[in-house]
Amino acid sequence: EFIDSYYFNKLEYTRFSSSVGKFVGFTEYGVRNAEYWNNDASFLSAMRAQKEVYCLNHVPVYYSNVLTKS
């Protein structure tokens, strides 16, 4: 799962989760940002593609390294 969280003063205001597939806002400002970003189709599809960029390429390497050390 790919999660991209946005914080200000230790307070999370917006989060993108690949399992949800869209941005979710937690504060008034975060809800406005989430609505704006969710309406931008190109930005939303780019964030959905980040799962393949980060997770699918790196997880097998990290997983094999953990197994060799145990």
Q: CATH number, domain at 28? A: 3.10.320.10
Q: What is the pLDDT of residue 56?
A: 78
Angstrom CA distances, 16 to 12, 28, 50, 67, 70, stand at 11, 16, 11, 30, 33
Into how many domains does the chain fold?
Answer: 1
Domain span at residue 32 reads 3-68
Q: Among 33-37, 38-42, 55-59, whose mean pLDDT is lowest?
A: 55-59
The CA distance from 63 to 68, in Å, is 9
The CA distance from 19 to 17, in Å, is 5
Averaged pLDDT score across all residues of the chain: 90
The residue ranking higher by pLDDT, 63 or 49, is: 49
pTM given for the model? 0.77
Given pLDDT bands bounded at 50, 70 and 90, which one contains residue 70? low
